C-alpha cells in the first residue's frame, strides 16, 4: 500500500471514532498538537469533511500552526513517495535549434539529483525521427501506466503527418493513432479547425487508454452555408478508433493548452478554461463516465493579462500556481479541495521572491520541485520546503521546454487493443 494512503487510512480510523463528539469531548480525547499531526496526513477533501467535528477543526485552514504542519507533511509525503520509487522520473522535453536553425525535440530523464548532468536521453519513436522544425508535446505532462502521449503540432492540413502517438519508452513500443473525424471527413478548404484543448488518461472502468480533443471551426471570411458546431472527439486504444462524443458542448476556450493549463490525475483530466463571457474556471472530464464538471475559480483570483497561471498536480491534488506582473518572482499556490465548489480553493504556499525568475513555471517534477526558466534562459527548480533554487545545467527558450513526470512500466501497450 502506498505510504501516503496508509497514513491517511490510519488517520481516518482515529478521527472517525470522534466524528460525533462535541468540542469538550474532543479536547479530552486528543490535544491540538496531536490532532493537528493526525489531520495533516489527510487529503484536503477529508479535512473539509471533518470540519463538522469541532469548531476548532472547522477553521483549520485559518490556523497558522496547522497550516505550517500541513504544508510540511505535504512536501515530505510527496518527496518520500518519489524517493521510494526508482521507476519514477522527471522528464524534460526541450526544443532547441540545430546548426540549420531547425528546432528539434529532445526528451531527457533527469537523474535523482534533478540536474542535466548524467541525464538519460531517450530516442523518440520512429514517427518522429525525421521531424524537422515541428513542435512535439507530451499531453498532460505525465505518463499513464508507463505510456506517454506525444502530439506533433504542425501548420496546415497534411493528413500524412503524425498527430498523436502512444509510446512506452521502457518497452520502446508505440501506437500511431489514426486520423480523428475532424481530419478525415470532407471539409471546405476555407474552413479551419482549431484544437482548443486535449486530454489523455486511463479509463479505470473499461481498462482503456483514451485520448481526446476539443475542436472548433472558423471560416476565413467567406460565406459557409453549413455552420460547424464544436466537436469533442475521443479515441479508445482498445478499439483503435475515434468517435464523436454526443454531448452539448459550450464554447470553451483554453488559451495555451501546452503551457501548463492541462493536467491528468486519477482518471480525470483538468484544464484552465475561459467561457465566452470571459469567465475563468477549471473544466474537468471523467474518462470513465465521460461527463464534464465545472469548478469556478476563487473569487479573490485576479484573472487578467497581468496574471500568469500554471495548472499542476501536487501530491495528488489539483493546484494552481499564479504570479502577478507587479511581482512575478513571487508564486502563490492554491489547492482545489473539491470539484465544482468555488469555496474549496485553499491557498497553501507563497514562494519567493525567486531570483531571476522569468515567465511562468514550466512544470512540476519529482519531489514537487517547481521548474522554471530564468532570465538568462537557464532552467532551474525551486524546492517548496527550503525555497532553495538550483540550476539544472541546460538552457531552454521561452515556450520550447516542458517538465513532467514519467513512471516506468513494462505493461505491453499492445495488450489493450488486441
Q: Are 329 and 353 in contact (CB under 8 A)?
A: yes
Sheet holding 307-314, edge to edge: 307-314, 317-324, 331-336, 345-351
* DSSP letter, residue 75: H
Q: How far from each other are the two terminal CA atoms of the chain, in whole angstroms?
A: 30
With CA atoms as reference, report the closest residue to 349 among 83, 81, 72.
72
In the predicted structure, residue 159 carries a pLDDT above the cut 50: no
SS3 at position 145? coil
Rounded CA separation 129/149 (Å): 16
Give φ, ψ of 236 to 5 degrees.
-115, 125
The mean pLDDT value for 71-90 works out to 71
pLDDT of 111-154, one tens digit each?
988 888 889 999 999 888 765 656 788 999 999 999 999 988 65
SS3 at position 226? coil
The mean pLDDT value for 166-171 works out to 95
Rounded CA separation 334/350 (Å): 9
pLDDT of 258-285, one tens digit each?
566 789 999 999 988 877 666 788 989 9
Q: Where in 297-355 does DSSP place strands (E)?
A: 307-314, 317-324, 331-336, 345-351
Which neighbouring-strand residues pair with 213? Answer: 198, 233
In the predicted structure, residue 160 carries a pLDDT above the cut 50: no
Q: Where in 170-329 does DSSP place strands (E)?
A: 173-176, 191-203, 208-219, 231-236, 241-244, 262-265, 268-274, 280-286, 291-296, 307-314, 317-324
In the predicted structure, residue 19 carries a pLDDT above the cut 60: no
Mean of all residue pLDDT scores within the chain: 79
In the predicted structure, residue 51 carries a pLDDT above the cut 80: no
pLDDT of 337-356, one tens digit each?
889 988 889 888 888 888 88
The mean pLDDT value for 311-321 works out to 88
Confidence of residue 20 (pLDDT cuts 50, 70, 90): very low
The mean pLDDT value for 381-399 works out to 87
* DSSP letter, residue 342: G
Domains of the chain in sequence order: 3-63 (no CATH), 85-417 (2.120.10.80)
- The pLDDT assigned to 80 comes to 55
The mean pLDDT value for 163-171 works out to 92
With CA atoms as reference, report the closest residue to 45 among 344, 245, 361.
344
Work out whether the CA dihedral 92, 109, 357, 101 comes out positive or negative. negative
* DSSP letter, residue 53: S
SS3 at position 59? coil
Confidence of residue 170 (pLDDT cuts 50, 70, 90): very high
pLDDT greater at residue 386 or residue 183: 386
Q: What is the residue whose three cell numbers read 504570479?
A: 323
How far from 331 is each of 87, 310, 313, 387, CA to CA, in Å?
30, 10, 15, 11
- The pLDDT assigned to 386 comes to 85
Lowest mean pLDDT among 174-188, 295-309, 311-325, 337-351: 295-309
Confidence of residue 47 (pLDDT cuts 50, 70, 90): confident
Amino acid at each position: 500500500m502506498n505510504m501516503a494512503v496508509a497514513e491517511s487510512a490510519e488517520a481516518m480510523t482515529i478521527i472517525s471514532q470522534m466524528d460525533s463528539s462535541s468540542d469538550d469531548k474532543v479536547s479530552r480525547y486528543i490535544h491540538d498538537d496531536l490532532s493537528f499531526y493526525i489531520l495533516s496526513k489527510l487529503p484536503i477533501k477529508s479535512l473539509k469533511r471533518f470540519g463538522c467535528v469541532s469548531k476548532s477543526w472547522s477553521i483549520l485552514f485559518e490556523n497558522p500552526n496547522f497550516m505550517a504542519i500541513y504544508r510540511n507533511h505535504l512536501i515530505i509525503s510527496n518527496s518520500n513517495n518519489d524517493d521510494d520509487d526508482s521507476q519514477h522520473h522527471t522528464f524534460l522535453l526541450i526544443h532547441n535549434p540545430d546548426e540549420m536553425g531547425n528546432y528539434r525535440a529532445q526528451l531527457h530523464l533527469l537523474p535523482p539529483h534533478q540536474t542535466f548532468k548524467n541525464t538519460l536521453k531517450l530516442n523518440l519513436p520512429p514517427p518522429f525521427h525525421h521531424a524537422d522544425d515541428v513542435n512535439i508535446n507530451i499531453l498532460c505532462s505525465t505518463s499513464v501506466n508507463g505510456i506517454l502521449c506525444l502530439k506533433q503540432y504542425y501548420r496546415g492540413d497534411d493528413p500524412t503527418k503524425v498527430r498523436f502517438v502512444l509510446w512506452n519508452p521502457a518497452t520502446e513500443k508505440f501506437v500511431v493513432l489514426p486520423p480523428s473525424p475532424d481530419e478525415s471527413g470532407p471539409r471546405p478548404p476555407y474552413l479551419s479547425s482549431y484544437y482548443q484543448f486535449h486530454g489523455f488518461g486511463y479509463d479505470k472502468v473499461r481498462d482503456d487508454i483514451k485520448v481526446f480533443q476539443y475542436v472548433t471551426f472558423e471560416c476565413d471570411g467567406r460565406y459557409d452555408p453549413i455552420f460547424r458546431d464544436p466537436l469533442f472527439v475521443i479515441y479508445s486504444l482498445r478499439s483503435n478508433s475515434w468517435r464523436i462524443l454526443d454531448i452539448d458542448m459550450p464554447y470553451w476556450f483554453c488559451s495555451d493548452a501546452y503551457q501548463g493549463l492541462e493536467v491528468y490525475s486519477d482518471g480525470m483530466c483538468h484544464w484552465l478554461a475561459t467561457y465566452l463571457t470571459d469567465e475563468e474556471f477549471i473544466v474537468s472530464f471523467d474518462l470513465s463516465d465521460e461527463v464534464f464538471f465545472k469548478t469556478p475559480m476563487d473569487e479573490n483570483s485576479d484573472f487578467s493579462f497581468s496574471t500568469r497561471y500554471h495548472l499542476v498536480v501536487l501530491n495528488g491534488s489539483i493546484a494552481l500556481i499564479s504570479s502577478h506582473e507587479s511581482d512575478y518572482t513571487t508564486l502563490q499556490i492554491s489547492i482545489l479541495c473539491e470539484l465544482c465548489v468555488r469555496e474549496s480553493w485553499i491557498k497553501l504556499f507563497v514562494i519567493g521572491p525567486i531570483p531571476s525568475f522569468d515567465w511562468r513555471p514550466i512544470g512540476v517534477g519529482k519531489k514537487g520541485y517547481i521548474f522554471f526558466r530564468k532570465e538568462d534562459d537557464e532552467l532551474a527548480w525551486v524546492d517548496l520546503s527550503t525555497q532553495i533554487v538550483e540550476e539544472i545545467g541546460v538552457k531552454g527558450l521561452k515556450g520550447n521546454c516542458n517538465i513532467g513526470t514519467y513512471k516506468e512500466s513494462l505493461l505491453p501497450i499492445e495488450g489493450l487493443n488486441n
